[in-house]
Chain A
Amino acid sequence: MNSQSKQLRNIYITAVVFFVAVIIVITWYSLWRLHEETAAGMQEVSTMHTRSFENFLTQNFRLAELATTNIANMDSRKKNLFNIERSLRATLKNNPAQRSISLLNEQGRIIASSNRANVGIVINTNNFLPTPTGEQDLLSIGMPWVGRDFISASPTTHQKPTRSQQLNFVPIVHTLAFGTRTVTLLIAINPDFFINHISQVLDNENGIVDIIRYDGTLLMSTEVSAKIGSLYQEIEQSLSPETAESGQLLTSLLENNPPAFSSFRASRLYPFLLITRIDRQRAMQNWKAEAKTLLGVIIVIVLTLAGLIIVFYRRQLQIEGERENSEQLQRINATVFGSSADSIIITDINANIISVNPAFSQITGYRPEDVIGQNPRVLSSGLQDNTFYQQMWECIHEKGVWRGELQNRCKNGHLYDVQATITAFYDNKGHLQHFIGVSTDITERKKSETRQRQASSVFTNSQEGIMVTDENNLIIDVNPAFSRITGYSYNDVIGRNPNLLSSGQQSPEFYAEMKSTLNETGSWQGEIWNKRKSGEIYAERLSIDTVHKENGETSQYVAVFSDISRLKIHEAELHRSANYDPLTSIPNRRLLGDRLVQTIARSKRSNRSLAVCYLDLDGFKPVNDQYGHAAGDLLLIEITQRLLKILREEDTLARLGGDEFVILFAEIEKPEEIDVALNRVLKAISEPIKVESNTVGISASIGVTIFPEDVADADTLLRHADQAMYRAKDAGKNRYHLFDPELDLEVQARRSQLKNIEKALKNNEFVLYYQPKVNLVSGEMTGAEALIRWQHPVKGILPPAAFLDLIDGHDLEIDIGEWVIESVIKQIVEWNKAGLFFQVSANLSANHLLKEGFSERLKEMLERYPAVRHEDLELEILETSTLNDLDQANNVLAQCRNMGVRFALDDFGTGYSSLTYFQRLPVDILKIDQSFVRDMLDDPNDLDIVESILRLAQTFNRPVIAEGVETLEHGAMLVQLGCQQAQGYGIARPMPAESIPSWATQWQETKPWLAIRKPIGKDTNLSLKVAMQSHINWLDSLEAFMRDPSCPHPRKINNHGQFRRWYRSSGFARYGTLEEFQNIAPLYDATCSLSAELIELVSDGNHTLACDRLAELHQQRDMLIAQINVLIKTLDKQ
């Protein structure tokens, strides 16, 4: 019990105690008051009775007194006794309180009575009270008498009382004085009358009424056992009738009697008093009963209330406990609400959001403040129609909950799928209070389901068999295609090892390797022979992948395979037809090539020799001609059979076609073995052969070459064997001839050249010449290109063309390339020392560039010469070089450029891939090929190319340099075209390195570039002018030829047809839409036909006739030129 509960308990105990105490006090007070009131009431009743009874008694006594007064009057009037008696009886008639009335004489004797029997009786009135004196009217009460009337009764005394139940009466005398005479009347008072009257009002049991004479004599009593006539001794003393006419009697005074509410009252006229005693016990009976009832009720109420309080207390405890539980639950709920991965939305009854949890914000992107007070339809994607939402709300209102999936939209507009549950929340009274929406983002699940469905669909519908095994390699699933291919049903294979498919065709090593590959790489692909349920062996292409658990352990293997048996058969057929001779079924030339390559490789490894034997049948053609092709074929088959019989397994027999065969002898340990084998071959062939019942004799000529004595590739070996075969034929057939490599001149020549080049490299016979590069506008020398020369000891300086082709693809190419680069770097150092700073470029072959480790070696080289600025080194790559691997080239270029080395793309425009290289290779400068530059002054087509390249470079902001600038005219044209960098004979020829400084000095001194006219504006119609000039030049050549036929024939001159070509291609592209351009064509055509005619005339020897028409030619020419000028003018205007 915690302190709160203890406090609560204390409060309750205090409350209960206080409450009970209050109840007790109130009850006690109430009962006390009730008691007091009852007692007071009873006392009042007692007093009231007393007064009432006293009154009744006194009145009756008074009646008696009045009656007797009348009679006394009669007596005084001396009526006779008879009349008096009648009167007495008449008096009694209506007065039951009086039993009898009698008239006494002066002696006290009854002389007349209502009851005649009384007459004569003497009544002693001495003990009457008050004592009759006879002097005045007086009513005196005597002692009670026992009996009915005086005649039959006797008076009681205090000592001898009678019981109340005995018949008795109280005598009273009324004494009246009439002058000196007194009349005394005696009345027997009937106590029964009074007792009856009193008993009617006050039951005997409830109270007792005593009537007492003043002297204390008990006259009457309602108490049955009362002693009438006895003395009320106890009261007599305390009673003071003289002083107290009425009052209460203290109960203590009536010790013999039960406690009572007593009161007394004295008669106002007569000497008696009346005491009423109401039995206290009985009087309080009601109070007791009420008290008991009240107590009973109070106790019940107290117990009930106490019970209720205890119940209430327990309930409070329970509520307290429940509240704590509820609070804890609320905290848990809040935690759940906060940490739930599901989005929770709580709305009010109008579906306005009043709370969302953090997951909601994470999923939707809406912050709580964005959506509080909003309707959740802010999330609506609009993909569900109104019917959907209507049904949803109907469902919520009917069942109190809706579950389903829908698509919502995030704040950023993305859609997401949710599985939502919307619950209506009711309070205890069943009133709808909230809606609670809990939604799980199932977008991933949906995607995953879709993927799964797809996967499942793929699994089921795949044409490829799929088998899934567990980590213990037991099959756990297969697809229908699996069953279709293998013949095993699902139930056949589940739980089994896939080795039930094993055909036994693969070795255990194969499987071991497969397993290790799987373990290392997680997958395996390959082809494998397996066995169907039917036992049939089939080939499959199998791909196995490992599926890993999250912890990396293998969980499953998925094997996908396709039946490739048919493919295999096709492949085999293809292989056969591709590799085998259809007639003899032995390998054909193709397969022979493969075998030869393999055998060479094997031979290299084993250091054993191999022999290639080229075999040609002698005398096969006559057989074919004589017996027909069929017979020839049979003969070939027979020969083949014979040869196969004598050859070893490792040897190869191939038919190249016709009657030519090749035999490969592999793994030859001794040369003698070949001799033996070949003799056997010759013998086998020369055996007579039966062809269609004819026996023919045939022989073979065999050329043999042996590897590695003949170090050559497969093709060369075959060629050598072929050569040797011809030697054998020449030597008389039916023999073999061994090829002698030493005698092979071609090979020898190349080998010696390479050796010379290698030697030259060693002997430092190669030198580098440098050709300067200059800026034609500023005249500055911007660089120099290193060009290799061979300073041959005998042949003098050799140009690169004399040796570079030989080393193409040879290792020497790399060696020389590296020598060049290193030499250039050294030269840069030298020139730098001399105060010359410019870029020096070296040519780089594609092979060299792509050679592994190029950039690293270049780096090492540069590091050896730290003084050299890397950007001073420029490497020129030939655009024509086949850069097979552009990506690799790109990587190397990037690495080198990172070092600072520059790259130039050489001979740009000559290759097919110029644009590709231009785009993809990160080069620093383009070099326009010299062929375009050299002829651009004469050939408008070349000029157009140069112009195009320059425009391209301009567009892509790449610097350009032009090679082949042979004259300053070329330079002027280049400047005109916008190219300032140039290199060529027109500037300087390549020169030894040591000449460069002096040349540079001289260049600067003479300033030849100043002769180049600077372009005023850009002439866009250069090619048109060149084209025109070219045509004029040609016509000049034609004229010269006409005058002197020994001059070069016009049709063989370079610029022949140049105009036509330009006009139809780039000229048309540029000006084709202009009328002036179009008008040129007929004039040109006319010129051409006239030229053709004149050439014909000259060729036929009529050159005089031709010269006569010169004027015609000139006219034509001028018209053409005029038209071209019209075009030029038009263009200029534009």
Chain B
Amino acid sequence: MRLLCSLLLVVFGFSFQASASESSDISRLTKITAQKIIRVCIWPEYYSITYRNPKTQQLSGLDFDMANELGKDLGASVKFVNSSFSKVTEDITQDRCDIAMFAIGITPYRKEKLRFSQPHLHSDIYAVTSKSNPRLKNWHDIDQPGSIVAVRKGTLQESFMKGALRSAKLLILNQPFARELEVRSGRADVFMTDYPYSLRFLKTRDWARLILPPANYHKTSYAYAMKHGDDIWYNRIESFVRDIKQDGRLRMSAKYHKLSSILLP
């Protein structure tokens, strides 16, 4: 009986999809609905967004919560796929995941490669340095001769800092947690990150110190990324984002993760 129902659903779903866009491929949504699995790309080092605790291997964060919500809405179980900013474009385009949900900053470059949902967060760029580093007091001290600024490869900070730094040297790192080590060992003076990462990082590292940028230094909106095309999927995601914004799920989760200040309406 259950098998029959599933079969019927697949048949009807297929026929519906066929009637909606006759010429295109079957929507990702249909697939997901049929398979009851949704693959979500995440960056497991992303504090407050999608962070996997190395000690427990448990994921937590705002977008982890939202991914689960999406799964619920779609009636599918969520499969998290490890990714990173440097890999996300590839992961999406290679269809390793159906959607990337880890507060992906909407940059022009990425826009070309990915289709973003409407943004739900926004953040400026923040700098983290060592407490014992007396040489860096404020933002202006960063871009000085001899200074070394560490960024994660593929992040929006990397792209932005490449253009922004005049005197300081940019150190682009692709190893997990490499930025911290460089700063801590004194090989770099500072590393750049965003609000959600810095928030959680400072809480757990007693040696770190945050340097705040000037107001609205470089605000970037964060959203979920999908493959271009597949409007049905995109619309469904858009609908989902509207839903979570309206029904308070987003707000509740943001509050829990102390991200209320960077929520977008």
Contact = CB atoms under 8 A, between A and B. Distances in A.
Interface of A: 92-100, 115, 148-149, 152, 164-167, 169, 190-193, 195-197, 199-200, 224
Contacts of A192: 130, 132-133, 184, 186
Contacts of B148: 148
A197 B205 CA distance: 11
A191 B185 CA distance: 9
Nearest to A225: B134
B146 to A, nearest CB: 7
Interface of B: 130-135, 146, 148, 175, 181, 184-187, 189, 206-207
26 contacts: A92-B185, A93-B175, A93-B181, A95-B185, A96-B185, A98-B185, A99-B185, A99-B186, A100-B187, A148-B146, A148-B187, A152-B146, A165-B135, A167-B189, A190-B185, A190-B186, A191-B186, A192-B130, A192-B132, A192-B186, A193-B184, A193-B185, A196-B131, A196-B184, A197-B207, A200-B207
A94 B135 CA distance: 24
Contacts of B206: 200
B176 to A, nearest CB: 10
B132 A195 contact: yes
B187 A196 contact: no
A122 to B, nearest CB: 22
Contact of B186 (A148, A197, A224): A148
A167 B185 contact: no
A195 B130 CA distance: 10
Nearest to A189: B186
A606 B91 CA distance: 189
B161 to A, nearest CB: 19
Contact of B185 (A97, A152, A166, A197): A97
Contacts of A115: 187
Contacts of B184: 96, 190, 192-193, 196
Given A195-B132, A200-B131, 15 more contacts: A93-B181, A96-B186, A98-B185, A99-B185, A148-B146, A165-B134, A166-B135, A167-B146, A167-B189, A190-B186, A192-B132, A192-B133, A192-B186, A197-B207, A200-B207
B24 to A, nearest CB: 48
Contacts of A200: 131, 206-207
Contacts of B207: 196-197, 200
Contacts, number: 59
Contacts of B134: 164-165, 224
Nearest to A166: B135
A200 B130 CA distance: 12
Of residues B146, B181, B187, B206, which shows the largest number of chain A Cβ atoms within 10 Å of its Cβ?
B187
A97 B134 CA distance: 17
Contacts of B175: 93
A99 B188 CA distance: 10
Contact of B187 (A99, A164, A197): A99
A193 B180 CA distance: 12
> Which of B146, B185, B187, B189 is most buried by chain A, counting CB atoms within 10 A of its CB?
B185
A200 B186 CA distance: 17
B132 A169 contact: no
Contacts of B186: 96, 99, 148, 167, 169, 190-193
B27 to A, nearest CB: 45
Nearest to A95: B185
Nearest to A114: B187
B83 to A, nearest CB: 22
Nearest to A195: B132
Tell me which of A96, A98, A99, A190 has the highest count of chain B C-beta atoms within 10 A of its own C-beta. Answer: A96
Nearest to A222: B132
Contacts of B187: 99-100, 115, 148-149
B136 to A, nearest CB: 10
Given A148-B146, A148-B148, A152-B146, A199 B132 contact: yes
A573 B39 CA distance: 166
A663 B146 CA distance: 189
Given A164-B134, A192-B133, A96 B146 contact: no
A92 B175 CA distance: 13
Nearest to B209: A196
B130 A196 contact: yes
B246 to A, nearest CB: 45
A463 B175 CA distance: 147
A96 B184 CA distance: 6
A115 B169 CA distance: 15
Contacts of A93: 175, 181
A415 to B, nearest CB: 102
B103 to A, nearest CB: 27
A200 B205 CA distance: 11
A248 B37 CA distance: 68
A313 B106 CA distance: 86
A166 B187 CA distance: 14
A1059 to B, nearest CB: 168
A94 B176 CA distance: 12
A165 to B, nearest CB: 4
A258 B110 CA distance: 59
Contact of A96 (B131, B133, B181): B181
A201 to B, nearest CB: 10
Nearest to B148: A148
Contacts of A196: 130-132, 184, 207
B131 A199 contact: yes
- What are the 6 tightest A-B residue pairs by CB atom distance, in nearest-first order? A165-B134, A96-B184, A196-B132, A96-B185, A195-B132, A190-B186
A586 B184 CA distance: 175
Nearest to A147: B146
Nearest to A97: B185
A912 to B, nearest CB: 152
B186 to A, nearest CB: 4
Contacts of A97: 185
Contacts of B181: 92-94, 96
Contacts of A148: 146, 148, 186-187
Contacts of A224: 134
Candidate in B132, B184, B187, B207 with the most chain A CB atoms within 10 angstroms = B132
A166 B132 CA distance: 11
A191 B175 CA distance: 24
B208 to A, nearest CB: 9
Interface centre among B175, B185, B186, B187 (most CB of A within 10 A): B186
B211 to A, nearest CB: 16
B185 to A, nearest CB: 4
Nearest to A163: B134
A187 to B, nearest CB: 11
A196 B186 CA distance: 11
A169 to B, nearest CB: 7
A165 B206 CA distance: 20
Contacts of A166: 135
Nearest to A169: B186
A104 B116 CA distance: 53
Contacts of A94: 181
Contacts of A193: 132, 184-186
Contacts of A96: 181, 184-186
B11 to A, nearest CB: 55
A165 B184 CA distance: 15
A99 B184 CA distance: 9
A58 to B, nearest CB: 19
Contacts of B185: 92, 95-99, 190, 193
A149 B187 CA distance: 8
A190 B186 CA distance: 6
A166 B134 CA distance: 8
Nearest to A198: B132
A167 B148 CA distance: 12
A190 B135 CA distance: 15
A100 B148 CA distance: 15
Contacts of A167: 135, 146, 186, 189
A50 B232 CA distance: 67
Contacts of A165: 134-135
B97 to A, nearest CB: 29
